[in-house]
Homo-oligomer: A and B are copies of this chain.
Amino acid sequence: MRRVAICGFSMCKVGNHYQKSLSELFAEVALDALESAGNPDIDAIYVGNMSASEHTFQKNLGVLLSNSIGLNSTPCKLVECADGSGGAALYEGYNSVASGLYDVVIVGGVEKMSEVLQGENRKIRSMTIEQEYEAFHGLSIDGEFAIIMRYYMHYYDVPKRQFALFAVQMHKHAAGNRYAKLPYEISLEAALNMQTIADPLTLFDMAPTGDGSAAVVLCPLERAREFTDTPVEIAGAGQASDTLALYDRKNILTFKATSKAAEIALKTSKLKISDVDLFEVHDSYTISGFLALEDLGVIERGKVGQAVEEGLIDLDGPAPTNLSGGLKARGHPGGATGVYQAVEATLQLRGEAGKNQADPAEVALIQNAAGIGSLVTVHVFKRI
């Protein structure tokens, strides 16, 4: 397998882009990413998207997107794994270059979730959980995470305050990120008094959906200097799945696909979790942020909240996490989220993350999950 590098990237602010269509949102960012790599010829396009079928009624979205950047015959592969689509698209793109199938590919993530009624949005978000039994009988994605959070609080004897602290921290990071949907700080008091959505989940335990578009250009590492002076290596990638249904799990306090995917990615990159300088994890809910840090082995089980309070994931802490603001405050544009993580890790490793720049920033790990962790993709990035 060949070594792979990121030689171009771009993203737009997560928000409500009412004035742009899905293909316009993709095209702007993809063309900008290609320009940042010196406009190379590209062999294929991989795109993560979760809900174009619902939001724009468009099947075969890949072709619309390749058309939108003027590539009318380049294969464009749409990858749909719920809100894990972005990471999964990156994984396919990475493998296509690593295996020698393609030389230069663009991986995009695009999602437009703002233009539907709230009820429709709720329904679409819950399409990420198992439908034949769980959703059929009325469970929602919020409900499933409320069950997991409630059990976590009970099992480890953890108060809601610890989850609120995580949300406060995410907003603190987002305040320094101009691409964030919610770029402002919130007080612990506000987080503690937020309205309940599905007890014990409050609104501040949930990541806001949004419109967004992000893209990276991949090439073989040995050719990266043709396209950019500051390439970043994708040193490892791993993917694993779990049961789609929560009722099928022996233990709901771990997303074991995270551990397995991270194990594969770290093994490929010949690195240990302790070598990682910064993390972007999939905190679609505060509880999923907690489980990610535990399943990656960053912190002991049941201790995330306490560690967050003690500065674990601060910019200058031992394990800076979601310096972008995470899904919670940068925003969660569904199938684009995993590609946002890739762009943010790239910015950090290039030393271009502005106010939120971590130091050192030699190795970054990103983790993108679908639904209740039923498919997880992990990538390890390395400064060259």
Q: Which residues of A contact B (CB under 8 A)?
A: 1, 21, 23, 50-51, 53-54, 56-64, 66-67, 72-82, 84, 88, 92, 95-96, 98-101, 123, 127-128, 130-132, 135, 239-245, 248, 257, 260, 370-371, 374-375
> Could you tell me the distance in whole angstroms from the C-beta of A258 to the nearest C-beta in chain B?
12
A62 touches B81 (CB 8 A): yes
**B contact residues around A80 at 8 Å (CB):** 59-61, 78, 80
Complex Cα distance, B23 from A63, in Å, reads: 28
A256 and chain B: residue at smallest CB distance: B73
**B contact residues around A371 at 8 Å (CB):** 59-60
**B contact residues around A100 at 8 Å (CB):** 1, 99-100
Per assembly, the copies of the chain total 2
- Other-chain contact of A59, B63, B96, B127 (Cβ < 8 Å): B127
> Could you tell me the distance in whole angstroms from the C-beta of A378 to the nearest C-beta in chain B?
12
**B contact residues around A81 at 8 Å (CB):** 59-60, 62-63, 78
Complex Cα distance, B58 from A54, in Å, reads: 12
Complex Cα distance, B66 from A130, in Å, reads: 13
**28 residue pairs A–B, Cβ–Cβ below 8 Å:** A1-B100, A21-B132, A50-B59, A53-B53, A57-B135, A59-B370, A59-B371, A60-B81, A60-B84, A60-B371, A62-B241, A63-B81, A63-B244, A63-B374, A64-B132, A67-B241, A72-B241, A73-B240, A73-B257, A74-B241, A75-B240, A78-B79, A78-B80, A78-B81, A98-B101, A99-B100, A99-B101, A101-B101
**B contact residues around A96 at 8 Å (CB):** 95, 99
B101 touches A57 (CB 8 A): no
> Could you tell me the distance in whole angstroms from the C-beta of A300 to the nearest C-beta in chain B?
24
Q: Which among A95, A131, A257 has the highest number of chain B CB atoms within 10 Å?
A: A131
**B contact residues around A56 at 8 Å (CB):** 131-132
Complex Cα distance, B77 from A315, in Å, reads: 36
> Could you tell me the distance in whole angstroms from the C-beta of A182 to the nearest C-beta in chain B?
25
- Contact status of A72 and B243, CB under 8 A, knowing A79-B77, A101-B99: yes
A64 touches B244 (CB 8 A): yes
3 shortest A-B CB distances, which residue pairs? A99-B99, A60-B82, A59-B127
Complex Cα distance, B374 from A67, in Å, reads: 10
- Contact status of A60 and B132, CB under 8 A, knowing A241-B74, A243-B72: no
A241 touches B50 (CB 8 A): no
